[in-house]
């Protein structure tokens, strides 16, 4: 033990040697500051969110229990809810077209597909719906008005006092919705939220005709609930509430009731937060890894420069252990200092992270210092910086005392035994995997990520090395001396050009890859909305409304591309077994969702362009229901997998009360990315024609004004018909992706920051060399302008090579994604990528010149004396 710990001489010498170069040493450790800051910030943010969720769990749900069914409640459920008692509120939620009209304008208003919640009762029981004005949330039910989402009000230039029409009902807008318990602002990107009194909807015909409706009941437990629970041997704690939830679910034979409790909502939310923060944590981890590499590189150069000192100490009698201890203490000190500074910086960033995620959080965050988060980030920083510097440290034992009398260019690392390198390398990988496993809560995920990260770093390092070698071969004989010297400077002895290009390049790779992915997602959607594709879709069109909708559309200048009949049905049996039986079978293969779904099915004789048969045979026509024939149907392979069924399996459907026996005659593959109505389940013609049905109609409209006009006319005439303006959807998707992208880009910036700090540290390491070069050049007649120019060229090349390396790989990754995943022709947005590159190059130049300031001020004589 005594020999493992450093002795007094080692500790004293470590301090004495370090004290005159503390600033430089601090800069060497700066590489891990950004990474530790990113980790601490994200881990602390996660802790804040989970703390807030815990603290405000009831506000997330707004009640103690929430019951949601997409059909009117059965008598058993109603009876149970009544007996539970407590304070109750109810809601009917559905999507519908809403006409928004300002009172100040003369125009007819604009329609939007909106999320309608018609509420009666005191919901939310915990928390509040925040509106402007504040009183509107308490008064809208009594004064029979509407609350409307703020974004759509801003978008359409509406104010409180303007009107909306739902169905045939006009309502005054009495308030702007700012917050709804349990919902983030990003929710409104799906469609603007409108809250109205329940009586408004009950009086309309909006619910009559094939609408997708959710019937929700909220309950806040009180004394009557407590009494009921006691009578049934339950308590109103978490376990008791879950037991009540189970009883509620059992009232449906097919268990199609969704029940949420505070605990389950907390768990759902926590899972989402976990996923999000783990992903961002990984991005922060990348910055830390790169910072560790930067520190390792700095330590390698530092040790090499200290070779003479080590040799002298060995001559004087220091053991190899003592010399390792001396510089090991310094490196450990570096790691500690970097981790401390990084942690403090991370706490600062934690204050600002909520701004980035404001739209995704359904509450105001409680922020506090999380000691576990701080410790984990801090210790990770220390561990990684020390682990990656271990090999250069161990190489000290190879420095021979002979260096004192024999001048030679000795590279300690080159003399480390291969087995030592392998052992240390393996140890580092294991350590990194364990640390990441702690962060991700999964060893397998950590192992895969580490493997992918190491592969990326190696590929980036190889790309950087290749580019550097290419740069080195450039003769540029026709260029001025300043350019040639600037390029040559990148290859001065003990340069860290490859590491610099790698760390800066990784930041560019992350940002570039993410940006290209985002572009491709949008491009994919855009591609589907080309000139021959539909840009307006009407659905929920009843049979008797079909003709009218078509007439309005065609008169408005639209071309009807497709009209599709849709029949609603539910699965009642699979191979003779009921849904209830299947749900209770713990060995079942089928998912609950697939078993309890309300299927929207169409029928036709031919397959369309989006469908290909994988197995079996498509039979386009069959006998009518009641003829005793088992109807041959076709299913998409994903649904077949979900249900655990194969060819010739029998499925019984309940079509509005009529049982229909079917046989799975074929399995298809459907391209759901096509902007046309596509269906998981397809019936042949001749069977469902008499069944209650509605229609979807896809249209191509020449311009946005016609789209708005046709929408408004249809909604005015037929309020139950809904419309999807594909252009608006694309806009919403873009906004959503932008918000997600901003969060990821913010974390990726930590990698860029790491690269810049490593650059500053590398410049500091080579400071004396630069001073010497500058002095020599001035001695032989170079002007300050020329010397500055040489530095400019050097940093320009560094930044350019880094951007090139990172973007090259990002483009390769983008091409692979486009070819194999998105099925697109890859056309990157060059101006945007160039702009990002210019920013990184600019930052590289700024950091370079900031650190070069003092070099030009050095007096030649000082340098020459130090030389001698």
Partner 1 sequence: MLRVQNLTKTYQSGGRPLTVLDNVSFGIDPGTSCAIIGSSGSGKTTLLGLAAGLDRATSGEVYLKKHALHQLDEDDLAVIRNRHIGFIFQSFQLIPTLTALENVMVPVELRGVPYDYVSGEARRLLSEVGLEGRVDHYPSQLSGGEQQRVAIARAFIHKPDILFADEPTGNLDSETGEQIEDILFDLNEKLGTTLVIVTHDPDLAARCDRVIRLKRGMIASDSAAGADSENEKVVNGVAS
Q: Note the residues at the interface with partner 1 (CB under 8 A).
A: 7-9, 12-13, 16-21, 308-309, 311-322, 400-402, 404-406, 865-866, 868
For 762-777, give the DSSP string. Answer: HHHHTHHHHHHHHHHH
- CA 245, 251, 253, 254 dihedral sign is negative
CB of 533 closer than 8 Å to CB of 570: no
* Helices 497-527 and 443-473: angle between axes, nearest 10 degrees: 110
Only one residue has tokens 């230039």, namely 157
Closer to partner 1 by CB, 15 or 481: give it: 15
- By C-beta, is 593 or 865 nearer to partner 1? 865
Nearer to partner 1, 3 or 418 (CB): 3
Using the minimum distance from each CB to partner 1, give the nearer residue, 273 or 318.
318
| Residue owning tokens 């503390």 | 22
Instruction: Write out the DSSP string of 505-538.
Output: HHHHHHHHHHHHHHHHHHHHHHHTTSTTS-SEEE
Contact call for residues 683 and 605 (beta carbons, < 8 A): no
Return the number of the residue (316 or 780) whose C-beta is nearest partner 1: 316
Question: Please, what is the minimum distance in Å from the beta carbon of residue 852 to partner 1?
Answer: 22
The distance of closest approach from Cβ of residue 314 to partner 1 in the complex, given in angstroms and rounded to an integer, is: 6
* Min dist. Cβ of residue 25 to partner 1 (A): 11
**Residues 6 or more apart in contact with residue 472 via CB below 8 angstroms:** 487, 490, 491
Cα 428 from Cα 434, distance rounded (Å): 10
CB closer to partner 1, 84 vs 318: 318
Q: Please state the closest distance from residue 8 (CB atom) to partner 1, in A.
A: 7
- Of the pair 406, 577, the CB lying nearest partner 1 is at 406
Strand, helix or coil for residue 173:
strand
Report, in Å, the least distance between residue 404 CB and partner 1.
5
Please report how close the Cβ of residue 328 comes to partner 1 at its closest, in angstroms: 16
Taking the complex as a whole, the smallest distance from the CB of residue 774 to partner 1 amounts, in Å, to 18
Closest distance to partner 1 from the beta carbon of 12 (Å): 7
User: In this complex, which beta carbon is closest to partner 1, that of residue 265 or of residue 325?
Assistant: 325
Q: Is 678 left (phi over 0), alpha (psi -120 to 50) or beta?
A: beta
Residues 299-337 as b or e (16 or more Cβ within 10 Å = b):
bbbbbbebbebbbebbeeebeebbbbbbbbbbbbbbbbb
Cβ contacts of 411 within 8 Å, gap of 6 or more: 304
Q: Which is nearer to partner 1, 29 or 194 (CB)?
A: 29
Closest contact distance (angstroms) between CB of 765 and partner 1 is 15
Kindly tell me which of 404 and 591 has the beta carbon lying closer to partner 1.
404
Coil vs helix vs strand at 69? strand
CB of 301 to partner 1, least distance (A): 16
110 forms bridges with which residues in the sheet? Answer: 100
- Do the Cβ atoms of 116 and 127 come closer than 8 Å? no
- Contact criterion met (CB below 8 Å) for 13 and 326: yes
Residue 2: CB minimum distance to partner 1, A: 12
Residues 552 and 699: their CA atoms lie apart, in Å, by 12
**Which residue, 404 or 732, has its beta carbon nearer to partner 1?**
404
Give backbone dihedrals phi and psi of 19, rounded to 5 degrees, phi first: -65, -30
């Amino acid at each position: 033990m005594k020999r493992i710990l450093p002795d007094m001489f080692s500790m004293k010498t470590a301090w004495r040697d370090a004290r005159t170069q503390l600033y430089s040493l601090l800069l060497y450790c700066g590489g891990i500051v950004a990474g530790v800051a990113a980790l601490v910030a994200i881990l602390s943010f996660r802790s804040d969110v989970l703390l807030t969720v815990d603290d405000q769990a009831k506000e997330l749900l707004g009640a103690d229990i929430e019951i949601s069914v997409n059909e009117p409640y059965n008598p058993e459920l109603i009876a149970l809810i009544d007996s539970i008692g407590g304070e109750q509120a109810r809601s009917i939620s559905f999507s519908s077209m809403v006409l928004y009209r300002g009172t100040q304008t003369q125009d007819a208003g604009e329609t939007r597909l909106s999320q309608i919640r018609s509420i009666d009762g005191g919901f939310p029981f915990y928390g509040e719906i925040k509106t402007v004005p504040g009183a509107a949330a308490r008064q809208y039910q009594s004064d029979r008005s509407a609350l409307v989402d703020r974004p759509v009000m801003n978008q359409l230039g509406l104010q409180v006092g303007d009107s909306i029409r739902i169905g045939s009902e006009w309502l005054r807008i009495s308030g702007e919705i700012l917050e709804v318990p349990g919902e983030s602002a990003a929710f409104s990107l799906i469609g603007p939220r409108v809250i109205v009194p329940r009586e408004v909807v009950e009086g309309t015909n909006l619910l009559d005709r094939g609408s997708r409706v959710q019937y929700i009941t909220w309950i806040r437990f009180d004394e009557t609930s407590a009494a009921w629970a006691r009578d049934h041997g339950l308590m109103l704690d978490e376990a008791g509430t879950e037991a009540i939830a189970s009883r509620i679910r059992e009232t449906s034979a097919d268990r199609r009731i969704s029940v949420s409790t505070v605990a389950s909502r907390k768990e759902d939310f926590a899972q989402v937060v976990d996923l999000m923060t783990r992903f961002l944590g990984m991005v922060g981890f990348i910055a830390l890894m790169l910072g560790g590499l930067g520190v390792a590189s700095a330590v390698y150069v530092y040790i090499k420069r200290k070779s003479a000192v080590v040799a002298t100490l060995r001559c004087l009698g220091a053991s190899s252990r003592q010399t390792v201890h001396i510089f090991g203490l310094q490196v450990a000190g570096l790691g500690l200092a970097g981790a401390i500074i990084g942690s403090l910086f991370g706490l600062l960033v934690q204050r600002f992270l909520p701004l980035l995620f404001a739209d995704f959080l359904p509450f105001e965050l409680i922020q506090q210092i999380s000691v576990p988060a701080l410790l984990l980030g801090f210790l990770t920083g220390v561990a990684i910086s020390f682990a990656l510097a271990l090999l250069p440290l161990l190489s000290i034992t190879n420095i021979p005392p002979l260096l004192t009398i024999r001048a030679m260019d000795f590279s300690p690392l080159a003399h480390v035994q291969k087995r030592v390198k392998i052992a240390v390398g393996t140890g580092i990988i294991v350590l990194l995997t364990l640390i990441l496993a702690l962060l991700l809560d999964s060893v397998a995920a950590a192992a895969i990520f580490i493997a992918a990260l190491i592969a990326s770093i190696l590929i980036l390092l190889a790309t950087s090395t290749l580019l550097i070698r290419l740069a080195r071969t450039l003769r540029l004989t026709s260029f001025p001396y300043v350019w040639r010297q600037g390029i040559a400077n990148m290859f001065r002895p003990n340069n860290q050009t490859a590491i610099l290009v790698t760390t800066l390049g990784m930041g560019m790779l992350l940002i570039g890859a993410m940006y290209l992915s985002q572009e491709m997602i949008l491009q994919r959607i855009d591609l589907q909305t080309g000139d021959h594709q539909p840009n307006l879709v009407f659905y929920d069109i009843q049979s008797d409304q079909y003709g009218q909708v078509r007439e309005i559309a065609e008169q408005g200048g639209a071309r009807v591309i497709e009209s599709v009949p849709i029949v609603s049905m539910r699965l009642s049996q699979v191979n003779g077994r009921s849904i209830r039986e299947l749900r209770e079978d713990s060995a079942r293969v089928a998912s609950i969702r697939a078993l309890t779904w309300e299927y929207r099915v169409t029928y036709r004789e031919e397959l369309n362009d989006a469908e290909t048969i994988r197995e079996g045979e498509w039979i386009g026509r069959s006998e009518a229901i009641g003829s005793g024939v088992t109807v041959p149907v076709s299913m998409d392979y994903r649904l077949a997998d979900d249900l655990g069924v194969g060819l010739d399996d029998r499925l019984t459907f309940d079509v509005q009360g009529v049982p229909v026996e079917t046989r799975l005659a074929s399995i298809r593959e459907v391209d759901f990315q096509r902007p046309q109505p596509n269906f998981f389940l397809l019936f042949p013609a001749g069977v469902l024609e008499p069944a209650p049905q509605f229609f979807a109609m896809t249209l191509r409209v020449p311009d946005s004004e016609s789209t708005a006009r046709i929408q408004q006319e249809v909604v005015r005439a037929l309020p139950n018909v809904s419309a999807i303006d594909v252009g608006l959807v694309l806009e919403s998707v873009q906004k959503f992706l932008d918000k997600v992208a901003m969060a990821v880009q913010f974390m990726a910036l930590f990698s860029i920051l790491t690269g810049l700090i490593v650059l500053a540290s590398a410049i500091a390491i080579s400071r004396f060399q630069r001073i010497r070069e500058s002095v020599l050049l001035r001695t032989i007649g170079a002007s300050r302008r020329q010397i500055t120019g040489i530095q400019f060229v050097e940093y320009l090349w560094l930044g350019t090579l880094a951007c090139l390396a990172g973007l090259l790989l990002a483009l390769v990754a983008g091409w692979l994604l486009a070819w194999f995943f998105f099925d697109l022709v890859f056309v990157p947005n060059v101006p945007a990528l160039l702009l990002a590159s210019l920013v990184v190059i600019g930052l590289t130049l700024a950091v370079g010149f900031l650190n070069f300031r003092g070099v030009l001020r050095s007096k030649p004589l000082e340098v020459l004396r130090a030389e001698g």
